[in-house]
């Protein structure tokens, strides 16, 4: 079945912080997309490429989108520069079955807000506090290979209320030293596509070099990949059964 | 508690079919909004007004929206004429706590699609076939007062796949004589607001005069009413606990 | 509609700690049930009585159960002494529509485990640490009247993984000073009944005198009350439509 | 990752009808378990064995259970003969991560009722009417390879209200010629395990020879297989953070 097929992953990154800030560049010399892609390329069954904001069409031409099974999304300072036309195309692809893995500050990306229908707003704080991520649905594929919890020693805090629809499955809840909690791993079915929001990750911290974080991203990519479900049709249809006049 | 307070309902209708087609006008002489409002006015605890597309600001001025606890929405032929600005205001009000009850062809309204993040597309057929609506969550407040199922003798069919997010609670499933099924009663939390999608209803059929349909709309209005939950805040926050330096 | 009807509440308590330990007795001189019932009696629309383990049939005769709309349950040291026959009757009543509000250590009661189908196990610690309870579904009736979060200054900790089915609606998540999180307010539909699990509360701490805790219990009782939904039938049935021979 | 590992499947069958009724024996000469196992053995990545009621310990010794990744369950006339001790062991294994696929009349098995916490009752009728199974969550792995709907020409009807907890994911809804609907494909997380209930199948009909039905069972087995999630621990724990005295 589908297991033999390669999953074609496109790792998208805004890729601005890394160009403007020497410290961030030192942390992610190949960009955040580079760090994520590097890990995913170690995984069997994945074909990985990257795309960034400043490429033509943000690197997301029809050809790229149509040959992408799962798109991962990191953005932060330039959400507003992503073209509405591209966002509409990404949304259509997700609804048609493409997986989408939204990372950290991607919660405020146009594409995530559009697919959720809510503000996707939250509380935040940048003091480098500790985060502990608890697995609350241990049988879910995205929790494969994890311990009961893992810690991120220094992180930006995101706190509830996270203004999203209740996820179809809640996999992780975060604890923060400063007193907040957060629904950190959230699965959504939208159209024929699957979406995973994963909280950790920040441009000034080595979070995308941490093994548990990368493990989750890899799991999420596999979970979100399309599996050849039915081609859904819409519109005016004839009856499938004889309907008696009345 | 909140039970003493009146629920302020605004019944919104596109109100075009009724003006253009004598048969429809005969069926709904005061408009579909008139039929729904008439029933709701018989219910204790509700304050009911109506609003329609061709009024200034579609009858949904800031003053009206800000004094509406629950908005019911019927539209069909003129979804595209609803101004994006008003849609944005309605969305913001729902996310801030206003209830929204979306009826029948309102599945394709701008406001419902925007809040769902999906196409909200479906299959349909207009041959006046029979629909049987089964209660699948009998303890839900929207099922209060209903039998196990009720029938609509002649209806427009809506069939799955209904391209919406899985509802937080699925209350009704419809059976159609022509061979389809449909998730006909769907509850969603979005922001601080509650949304109910209810399938039945059509401009050429007396469905909004049927007692079970009206009963459900009344129940839905009461369920969707805001109850004085917390005022949620977002943005940059200070720690609630002392965080040790590290 | 149902709003006019009184909700008949039975507040059940194991009532052993209070008899055996002078400090606990000082904290809850009328028992934990007494403290909860006292609050509920201040609420309009509720008719409140109590029942305890050492009464005949644990105070839950057929007559009491059949005239109870919502049962609240607190137990801790004597779960095993609750008779299986009574547990079966309570389960049947819940499935027939009675509401059930399970408090704190009631997570390990026979009735809760039976209705959940899982171990309902969790992590715990008794060092009197701080708990902060965050509202994650602000539009839910059980969050009415609450702020964004509230604190319990000294509490027994309960930590994830909480081995329950994912709740139909998750209303609260707790943060604990010692590093854990917990799904603290969990709504379940089971049969025609509604169940709310609420974490706070402990026999050696004045938690059932805290106003937010009592407010939530009152909200939960109102939410869990049956509303006159359909009488569901089961078994062998005749076709509702003519089925063609084949 | 886990994809390389074989999934060890045990196909359980009551295996009584086939011994007592010549017509049923002719339909399933190797038993219903034989028909299902035969298909699963054509699937890559699965190791398949069978077990039946009349074997010692119903074929479910500790050794068998401990080396089973996914158990499929068919029973009908002899649910009461399944030993409570074995049921308790199967429940414990599911909560520890074993997948469980419950078929058709297995809705009334001890193990399914115990894991659901409800009566699992439903309406039924045996007149060989037509069933049409609609996919309502097309992106779910259990829908892989299916068309939008498929039909079972002659089936026993199961109708709502199906007295189960709302599934975590609802994949299929059935339409029946006689006028009912049914939630036919239901996914549940329980403990670390995953459960799929699949409605089709009957002892007097060739349903377990139908390709779509077998395809779904194969998909369900793969979906339900454990994936190496965290080992969850419970009980009294030390704080993970320094808690200030107060």
Residue C12: CB atoms within 10 A of its CB come to 32
Using DSSP, state whether A16 is helix, strand or coil: coil
Express each pLDDT in D86-116 by its tens digit: 999 999 999 999 999 999 999 999 999 999 9
D244 pLDDT tier (thresholds 50, 70, 90): confident
ipTM of model: 0.96
Percent of chain C with pLDDT strictly greater than 70: 98
**Contact flag B134-D175 (C-beta cutoff 8 Å):** no
Tokens representing residue A155 in the block: 């992180």
Contact (Cβ atoms closer than 8 angstroms) between residue C120 and residue C161:
no
Contact (Cβ atoms closer than 8 angstroms) between residue B234 and residue B110:
no
Closest CA in chain B for residue C219: B1
- The answer for residues whose C-beta is within 8 angstroms of residue B113's C-beta and 6 or more apart is B119, B120
B202 pLDDT tier (thresholds 50, 70, 90): confident
**Contact flag A240-B180 (C-beta cutoff 8 Å):** yes
In angstroms, rounded to a whole number, what is the distance separating the alpha carbons of residues B10 and B19?
21
| Phi/psi of residue A134, nearest 5 degrees | -95, 135
Tokens representing residue D194 in the block: 């995953």
Provide the terminal-to-terminal Cα distance of chain D, rounded to the nearest Å. Answer: 48
B217 pLDDT higher than 70: yes
DSSP for D78-102 reads -GGGS-HHHHHHHHHHHHTT-EEEE
User: With contacts defined as CB-CB under 8 Å, which chain A residues touch C170?
Assistant: 166, 170
* Alpha-carbon distance B162 to nearest alpha carbon in chain D (angstroms): 7
Mean pLDDT of A167-190: 98
In angstroms, rounded to a whole number, what is the distance separating the alpha carbons of residues C118 and B52?
51
**Contact flag B175-D181 (C-beta cutoff 8 Å):** yes
DSSP 8-state secondary structure symbol assigned to residue D177:
T
Closest CA in chain B for residue D163: B136
C2 pLDDT higher than 80: no
In angstroms, rounded to a whole number, what is the distance separating the alpha carbons of residues B57 and B65?
11
In angstroms, rounded to a whole number, what is the distance separating the alpha carbons of residues B208 and B27?
10
Q: Give the per-residue pLDDT at C202.
A: 87
Q: Give the per-residue pLDDT at C128.
A: 95
Mean pLDDT of B149-154: 97
| Phi/psi of residue D194, nearest 5 degrees | -120, 140
Contact (Cβ atoms closer than 8 angstroms) between residue B114 and residue A226:
no
In angstroms, rounded to a whole number, what is the distance separating the alpha carbons of residues A112 and A119?
9
Paired sense of beta strands D169-176 and D181-190, if any: antiparallel
Express each pLDDT in D185-222 by its tens digit: 999 999 999 999 999 998 888 999 999 999 999 999 99
C4 pLDDT higher than 60: no
In angstroms, rounded to a whole number, what is the distance separating the alpha carbons of residues C237 and C246?
20
C21 pLDDT higher than 50: yes
Average confidence score pLDDT of chain A: 96
Rounded CA Rg of chain D? 19
Average confidence score pLDDT of chain B: 96
D67 pLDDT tier (thresholds 50, 70, 90): very high
Q: Give the per-residue pLDDT at D127.
A: 96
**Contact flag B169-C189 (C-beta cutoff 8 Å):** yes
Closest CA in chain B for residue A239: B178
Q: Give the per-residue pLDDT at D202.
A: 87
In angstroms, rounded to a whole number, what is the distance separating the alpha carbons of residues A244 and B153?
12
Q: Tokens 């209740």, residue?
A: A166
- Counting as contact any 3 or more CB pairs under 8 A, the partners of D are A, B, C
| Phi/psi of residue B94, nearest 5 degrees | -60, -50
Q: Give the per-residue pLDDT at C5.
A: 83
Residue of higher predicted confidence among C244 and A236: A236
Tell me, yes or no, if the pTM score tops 0.80: yes
A5 pLDDT tier (thresholds 50, 70, 90): confident
Percent of chain D with pLDDT strictly greater than 90: 95
Express each pLDDT in C206-225 by its tens digit: 999 999 999 999 999 999 99
Express each pLDDT in A219-241 by its tens digit: 999 999 999 999 999 999 999 99
C88 pLDDT tier (thresholds 50, 70, 90): very high
Tokens representing residue D160 in the block: 């709502």
Q: Give the per-residue pLDDT at C66.
A: 97
DSSP for B56-90 reads GGGG--HHHHHT-SEEEEE-SS-GGGS-HHHHHHH
- Counting as contact any 3 or more CB pairs under 8 A, the partners of A are B, C, D
Q: Give the per-residue pLDDT at A190.
A: 98
In angstroms, rounded to a whole number, what is the distance separating the alpha carbons of residues A18 and A31?
6
**Contact flag C183-A137 (C-beta cutoff 8 Å):** no
Tokens representing residue C79 in the block: 């779960």
DSSP 8-state secondary structure symbol assigned to residue D234:
-
E-only strand ranges, D137-180: 149-159, 169-176
Mean pLDDT of B65-80: 98
DSSP for chain C reads -GGGSPEEEEEEE---HHHH-HHHHHH-TTHHHHHHHHHHTTSTTEEEEEEETTSGGGG--HHHHHT-SEEEEE-SS-GGGS-HHHHHHHHHHHHTT-EEEEEGGGGGSHHHHHHH-S----EEEEEEEEEEEEES-TTSGGGTT--SEEEEEEEEEEESPP-SPPPSEEEEEEEETTS-EEEEEEEEEETTEEEEEE----TTSGGGG-HHHHHHHHHHHHHHS---------EE---SS-----
User: With contacts defined as CB-CB under 8 Å, which chain C residues touch B1?
Assistant: 43-44, 144-145, 222
D245 pLDDT higher than 80: no
**Contact flag C239-D125 (C-beta cutoff 8 Å):** yes
In angstroms, rounded to a whole number, what is the distance separating the alpha carbons of residues B214 and B210?
6
Comparing CA positions, the residue from C241, B243, C101, B190 lying closest to residue A117 is B190
Residue of higher predicted confidence among B5 and D93: D93
**Contact flag D138-A230 (C-beta cutoff 8 Å):** yes
Express each pLDDT in C156-207 by its tens digit: 999 999 999 999 999 999 999 999 999 999 999 999 999 999 999 988 889 9
User: With contacts defined as CB-CB under 8 Å, which chain C residues touch A137?
Assistant: 166
In angstroms, rounded to a whole number, what is the distance separating the alpha carbons of residues D39 and D48?
10
Contact (Cβ atoms closer than 8 angstroms) between residue A136 and residue A146:
no
Tokens representing residue B28 in the block: 């709904």
**Contact flag C45-B137 (C-beta cutoff 8 Å):** no
- Counting as contact any 3 or more CB pairs under 8 A, the partners of C are A, B, D
Average confidence score pLDDT of chain D: 96
User: With contacts defined as CB-CB under 8 Å, which chain D residues touch A94?
Assistant: none
C3 pLDDT tier (thresholds 50, 70, 90): very low
**Contact flag D229-A146 (C-beta cutoff 8 Å):** yes
Express each pLDDT in B7-63 by its tens digit: 999 999 999 999 999 999 999 999 999 999 999 999 999 999 999 999 999 999 999
A3 pLDDT tier (thresholds 50, 70, 90): very low
Those residues of chain C whose CB sits closer than 8 Å to some CB in chain B are 1-3, 43-45, 97, 132, 135, 137-141, 143-148, 168-169, 177, 189, 191-194, 222, 226-233, 240-241
Among partner residues B132, B169, B180, which is closest to D179 by beta-carbon distance? B132
D5 pLDDT higher than 90: no
User: With contacts defined as CB-CB under 8 Å, which chain C residues touch B132?
Assistant: 240
Q: Give the per-residue pLDDT at D246.
A: 54
- The answer for residues whose C-beta is within 8 angstroms of residue C234's C-beta and 6 or more apart is D119, D121, D122, D123, D161, D163
DSSP alpha helices (H): ranges in chain D? Answer: 17-20, 22-27, 31-40, 62-66, 84-95, 110-116, 211-224
Mean pLDDT of A114-136: 98
Mean pLDDT of D151-158: 97
Percent of chain A with pLDDT strictly greater than 90: 95
Paired sense of beta strands A169-176 and A181-190, if any: antiparallel
Q: Give the per-residue pLDDT at A106.
A: 98
Q: Give the per-residue pLDDT at C1.
A: 34
Mean pLDDT of A108-131: 98
In angstroms, rounded to a whole number, what is the distance separating the alpha carbons of residues C145 and C154?
22
């Amino acid at each position: 079945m589908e297991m033999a097929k390669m999953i074609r992953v496109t790792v998208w990154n805004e890729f601005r912080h890394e160009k403007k800030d020497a410290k961030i560049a030192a942390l992610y010399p190949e960009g955040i997309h580079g760090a994520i892609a590097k890990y995913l390329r170690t995984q069997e069954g994945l074909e990985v490429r990257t795309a960034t904001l400043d490429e033509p069409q943000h690197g997301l031409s029809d050809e790229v989108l149509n040959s992408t099974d799962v798109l991962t999304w990191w953005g932060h300072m330039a959400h507003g520069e992503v073209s509405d036309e591209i966002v509409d195309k990404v949304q259509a692809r997700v609804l048609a079955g493409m997986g989408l893995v939204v990372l950290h500050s991607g919660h405020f990306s146009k594409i995530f807000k559009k697919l959720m229908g809510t503000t996707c707003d939250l509380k935040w704080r940048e003091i480098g506090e500790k985060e502990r991520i608890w697995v609350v649905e241990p049988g879910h594929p995205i929790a494969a290979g994890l311990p009961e919890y893992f810690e991120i020693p220094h992180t930006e805090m995101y706190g509830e209320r996270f203004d999203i629809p209740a996820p179809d499955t809640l996999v992780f809840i975060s604890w923060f030293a400063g007193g907040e909690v957060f629904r950190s791993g959230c699965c959504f079915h939208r159209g024929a596509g699957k979406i995973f929001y994963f909280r950790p990750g920040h441009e000034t911290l080595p979070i995308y070099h941490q093994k548990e974080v990368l493990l989750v991203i890899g799991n999420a990519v596999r979970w979100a990949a399309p599996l050849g479900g039915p081609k859904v049709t819409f519109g005016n249809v004839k009856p499938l059964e004889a309907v008696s006049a009345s």
